[in-house]
Chains A and B, each alone.
Chain A
Amino acid sequence: MTSPSPVLYDYILSPSCYKARLMAALAGVRLALRPVDFHPGVEHRGPELLALNPAGSIPILVAPDADGDLILTESAAILVYLASKAAPAFLGSGKPAESARIQQWLAFSARLTASLGGARLHEMLHRPGDLAGLRASGIAALRELEAALFEQRLKGEAFLVGNRPTVADIACFPYVALAPDGGVSLDAYPSIRLWMRAVRALEGFIEMPGIHRLHELKPDPHEAPATAEA
């Protein structure tokens, strides 16, 4: 018997919701998407959604589970749930250090949400906030990520924990990729750029507005005739 699909309370422009959609796509899990009128409707602060998540944020995942409905309101937990269900390789090998490093990055991803995500909300939806401060903490987080990814490259590893993607990469990728929306340039981070290429090249990768699959992997729609250059 197949159980009904988990329901994702979703907003297309939300990087946090995209984490859940991306993980589900990579894991081959079908989600039932329940669109939320985040803007301008502020539906996430209405009674129906507050009953599910008093914190008033999305994503919210409602998954039918053995003991009744499981309600998850933190994207990191949603990623872990989807991976455990359908793609355990995204949880790493289970070695203590590896599991701990994944947890470290899941917690770190909340800093990206607060800083780069905060700057983005400010720029896109005119949320009040200390823009300079949000950008500065975003840059501090990007520098940490860049240094860590550089050391990964020295080990010959393309992802945050090991040479294959884990929930750590999925948790960190969206707000980093969309940093320019908040006025934070990604030009100065070569190792982050290579890592984003690796994520965008993953089998089963899906896009969101502003984040694209590695273009060169798409079929060439206009195979140019052999052109001799002047």
Chain B
Amino acid sequence: MMPLESALVWTPVALSADLPAASVIPARLADAALAVWRAQDGTVSAVADRCPHRGMRLSHGFVRGEALSCIYHGWRYGKSGRCLAIPAHPALTPPETIRVATYRAAERDGIVWVTASQEAGAVPAHDGFLGLRSVTVAASPARLAASLGGTLDGSVIDGTIGGVTARLLLASSGEEGVLLVHLLIASGAADAGKIAASRALEGLRRQAETATITGEAA
């Protein structure tokens, strides 16, 4: 099977709507655990989910203004990853060398994309679609595509869900055998269509996971 993502391309990690201003969420890029955060000014940043101080998950932290703070001892990081302040030493300007590893992050079509590559080109476009929900599904891409009756192309499945034109973007959840699936639907869909698609997604997951457990051919 083709790997779902390599660190060299853009990976969809979350939906923009699930990351409000001044908040941080956990995310996954291939084998790396990330903390993805949105500053008060709307900018999205992605960093390694490990505080350089004592290793606490930064996704358990919080955002004040334009900085991400660690929940443990409050070390504060800016968008460049640099440590800006250490509460236990308020007078100290932290040395430049204290920084958390950063990744490139971007938003398009209501999706937050991340890459570890400086060379990755334009952020993938899914014109006419909008991110609706992200869920995890314990099934393979082929099984999920078969359950949907859709077509699988790399890490994208196209089809119809709950009567709505839909596209599924697949990424790794970080857990073996479990996919992170972003459901995109036609951007003009009304609320009724969104509810239908969301409910159908639950059914699709049940079907794909049941088929996985019973070992049905994909």
A224 to chain B, nearest CB (A): 4
Complex contacts, A224 vs chain B, CB 8 Å: 67, 76, 84-85
- Residue A215 interfacial (CB < 8 Å): yes
Segment from A58-66, A91-99, A187-195 that makes contact with B: A187-195
> Does the CB pair B23–A143 fall under 8 Å?
no
> Does the CB pair A147–B199 fall under 8 Å?
yes
> Does the CB pair B25–A193 fall under 8 Å?
yes
Residues of B within 8 A of A (CB): 14-15, 18, 20, 22-23, 25-26, 61-64, 67, 69, 71, 74, 76, 78-80, 82, 84-85, 87, 90, 93, 96, 133-136, 173-174, 180, 191, 194-195, 198-199, 202, 205
For the residues of A in contact with B, the DSSP-based class is helix
B214 to chain A, nearest CB (A): 16
B30 to chain A, nearest CB (A): 16
> Does the CB pair B76–A154 fall under 8 Å?
no
B86 to chain A, nearest CB (A): 9
> Does the CB pair A154–B195 fall under 8 Å?
yes
> Does the CB pair B90–A222 fall under 8 Å?
yes
A220 to B82, CA, bound (A): 20
Complex contacts, B69 vs chain A, CB 8 Å: 215
- Residue A203 interfacial (CB < 8 Å): no
> Does the CB pair B23–A197 fall under 8 Å?
yes
A219 to chain B, nearest CB (A): 11
B24 to chain A, nearest CB (A): 10
> Does the CB pair A216–B64 fall under 8 Å?
yes
- Residue A229 interfacial (CB < 8 Å): yes
B-facing mask of A128-161, CB < 8 A → 1, else 0? 0000000000000001001100110011000000
Query: Given A227-B84, A230-B96, are A150 and B198 neighbors across the interface (CB < 8 Å)?
Result: yes
- Can you name 5 A-B pairs with beta carbons within 8 Å? A154-B195, A216-B62, A222-B85, A229-B80, A229-B84
> Does the CB pair B22–A216 fall under 8 Å?
yes
B-facing mask of A165-202, CB < 8 A → 1, else 0? 00000000000000000000001101101100100000
> Does the CB pair A188–B173 fall under 8 Å?
yes
> Does the CB pair B136–A188 fall under 8 Å?
yes
Query: Given A215-B62, A222-B87, A230-B96, are A194 and B18 neighbors across the interface (CB < 8 Å)?
Result: yes
Q: Of all chain B residues, which has the CB nearest A143?
A: B202
- Residue A221 interfacial (CB < 8 Å): yes
B-facing mask of A6-49, CB < 8 A → 1, else 0? 00000000000000000000000000000000000000000000
> Does the CB pair B64–A188 fall under 8 Å?
no
> Does the CB pair B180–A188 fall under 8 Å?
yes
